[in-house]
Structure 1
Amino acid sequence: MTIGISTFVWVSPFSTQSFDVLRKAKAMGYDLIEIAVEDRNLIDWNALKKTCQELNLKISVSGAFGMDRDISSDQPENRANGLSYIIDCLEIAHEMESPVFGGPLYSAVGKTRLVSAEQKKQERQWCLENLHEATKRAEELGVTLALEPLNRFETDMVNTVDQAISIVDEVNHPYLKILLDTFHSNIEEKNIPASIRKLGDRLIHVQANESDRGTPGTGHLDWLGIRDAFQDIGYRGSLVIETFGAPSKELARAASIWRPLANSADELAEEGFAFLKQTFC
């Protein structure tokens, strides 16, 4: 499998001034860098692609979904901006030769409320309408959208694999699949290996994060069971560590990151790589 790491591990937001993390990731042994697109204008994309090509470092692209990038919002301008952001990121992914663009495509991170069944149904409909539009562009560009369930403390819309499958199957488009983050699964799934087997070929991308979002291998996740489940469904994609070493105030609030998750980002990255390499490769 391809082992990757997110720019979120070291910096937020990622920018051209952060290119040292590319060299750092490669020196540690990583095959792939996952670029979190918080503000596309902070990044010289041509220079990024050239640098990664020189380093022989693959790229994947992930999203950052604030309240103004919410395709299920009751505010039309936020829904429109959310769809525009997704399409922008698909185009970036195409240019960077990333096979996927992933994240909680359906809603803003940190939007957690108890709403009526009627409102929930309406928000789901807005989500479906916008995902139908996004998949058209995804197919044109040859980039797969990867929808990520988040835990209950970060969204009230899609928490479980079953909920993700329901949306993906209703859209019913080959360029919409599912991203699994094992940190969120640890909170929401009764049995992570069983949930992976249920995903089958809907699984397109994995963020391999520990139970506390710290260093993989230091918590209580059933990594051997996860490995076996990947083998059973024939998953051969990427495993990407995504945690937050220096979150912005907005990101810290959305993801509830209030304390360091390791002694240092470098230590987490080095030890996490060694563990994933030993376990999965």
Structure 2
Amino acid sequence: MNDQHPRCRFGLHAGLWTFDWTREAAERVLPEAADYAIEVLEIPIGEVERIDAPHTRALCERHGIEPTASLCLPEGAAAALHPDRASAVLLRALETAHALGSRILTGVTYTTLNWRSGALPTEMEYANIVRALKPVARKAREWDMLVGLEPCNRYETHLLNTGAQAAALIDRLDEPNVFIHLDSYHMHVEEHGLGAGVRAAGERFQYVHLSESDRGLPGSGNLDWGDLFRSMAEAGFSGYLIGEIFAPSTPTIAAALNIWQGGVPSRLDVLEKGVPFLKALARQHGLIPSPAPFHHRVDDRRARDRTELS
């Protein structure tokens, strides 16, 4: 594949630094992300009242970083149980994402993380999800925005575990601006190979979280990264490549995501080792361009002098 015609954008989830997206967080995180040539930053917007969207948007524009926005539905607003509540939460989140300058609202937009019925998904649950998401997708179209659905593993939800299930739900939803958001960590559990998951998602697949099998440093686990990147290249993937690596873990995030062994030692391990590993794979398969010959690398001393962020 000719890397003179790159098609994907590479980024990181802000959870590498913090899940509490305040003005102070934006002012600390965005300059460092720019130092490491991060093109896209996925911003968690579950607590919209804490987000100063115009402030973040201005900083993103200053540092040349594209924002995307994500959330999981909060307790009491799972779409399968409470479709009207879910719609209200998502519409407010969509408004915040739009104010940030994001064209995307994605994540676990259909349920509360770690809620499971204890039974197989029902027709009523899927009907309620469609009811919740339709007005959100239609409002997003008015703003030229996209809405993503992220399948998660069986221990976090019983509703969407695979790319094929997400594709079937999108067919039922029948809104052209809804896409599949895959996550390699969840795919490693649920798909019959990472490449098989990519192929099952098909053309609806536009966004991927790149996360190791144990949510640790990319390349240190047993994920078949070659299969994932090769299959994306063969499928002509042209979406977002987002490293989702959380370090250091806070008690809240550890409980939500079941990270009990500390993830990775620090964000600098991710920035100095994990990000180059993922970018090298993306370049190898023609998904992003090679760096310019005189691309400036951030000074290691400057990076390590930064105050550690939660």
Please say whether Structure 1 and Structure 2 have the same fold, judged by a TM-score greater than 0.5.
yes
- Who is 1:71 aligned against? 79
- Match for 2:23 among 1, 16, 28? 16
Deviation at 1:90, TM superposition (A): 1.9
In the alignment, what sits opposite 2:149? 147
Other-structure match for 2:211? 209
**Equivalent residue number for residue 94 of structure 2:** 90
Assess if the C-alpha contact under 8 Å between 1:12 and 1:247 holds in 2.
no
Matching residue within 232, 240, 243 for 1:241: 243
Superposed displacement of residue 116, structure 1: 6.5
Bigger proportion of residues as helix: 1
Which position in structure 1 is the counterpart of 2:111? 107
* Aligned pairs for 1:180-219 within 5 A: 180-219=182-221
Looking at structure 2, the residues matched to 270 and 153 of structure 1 have their Cα atoms a distance apart, in angstroms, of 31
Counterparts of 1:116 and 1:220 in 2: how far apart (Å)?
29
Question: Does 1:80 pair with 2:81?
Answer: no
For 1:34, the equivalent position in structure 2 comes to: 42
Give the Cα–Cα distance (whole angstroms) in 2 for the partners of residues 50 and 156 of structure 1: 39
Q: CA deviation at 1:235?
A: 0.9
Alpha-carbon separation, structure 1, partners of 2:204 and 2:195: 15
SS of equivalent residue, structure 2 residue 196: helix
Which residues of structure 1 form unaligned runs of 5+? none
1:169-218 per-position Cα deviation (integer Å, ceiling 9, x unaligned): 11121111100010000011111112212222101111111111112222
Aligned-partner Cα distance in 1 for 2:174–2:46: 28
**Residue among 9, 12, 15 paired with 1:5:** 12
Report the residue type matching 1:253 in the other structure.
A
Partner Cα distance (2:101, 2:21) in 1: 18
Q: Give the number of equivalent residue pairs.
A: 275
The more displaced of 208-217 and 175-184 is 208-217
| Rg (Cα) greater in structure | 2
Structure 2 letter corresponding to 1:36: P
TM-score normalized by the length of structure 1: 0.92
Query: 1:135, CA displacement in angstroms?
Result: 1.4
Q: Which residue of 2 aligns with 1:232?
A: 234
1:54-91 deviations in whole A, cap 9, x for unaligned? 11111111113221331112xx4xx3332112112222
Q: Which runs of 4+ in 1 moved over 6 A?
A: none
User: Measured at CA, do residues 116 and 202 of structure 1 come closer, stay the same or move farther in structure 2, by a change above 3 Å?
Assistant: closer
> What code does the residue aligned with 1:81 have?
R
Report the residue type matching 1:58 in the other structure: E
Once superposed, what is the RMSD of the aligned Cα atoms? 1.7
TM-score by length of 2: 0.84
Question: Is contact 1:147–1:176 with CA below 8 Å preserved after alignment?
Answer: yes
1:246 offset after TM fit, Å?
Answer: 4.7
Change (3 A) 1:247 1:87: farther
Distance change >3 Å, CA 115–CA 211, structure 1 → 2: same
CA displacement 1:15-53 (0-9 Å, x = unmatched): 112121111111122111110112112121111111111
The answer to whether the Cα contact below 8 Å between 1:90 and 1:141 also exists between their aligned partners in 2 is: no
Paired with 2:226 and 2:31, the residues of 1 have a C-alpha distance of 30
Given the alignment, which residue of 56, 60, 65 partners 1:57? 65
Letter in 1 for 2:48: R
Query: Any residues of structure 2 matched to 1:118-129 within 5 Å, and which?
Result: 120-129=122-131
Distance in 1 (alpha carbons) for counterparts of 2:132 and 2:111: 11
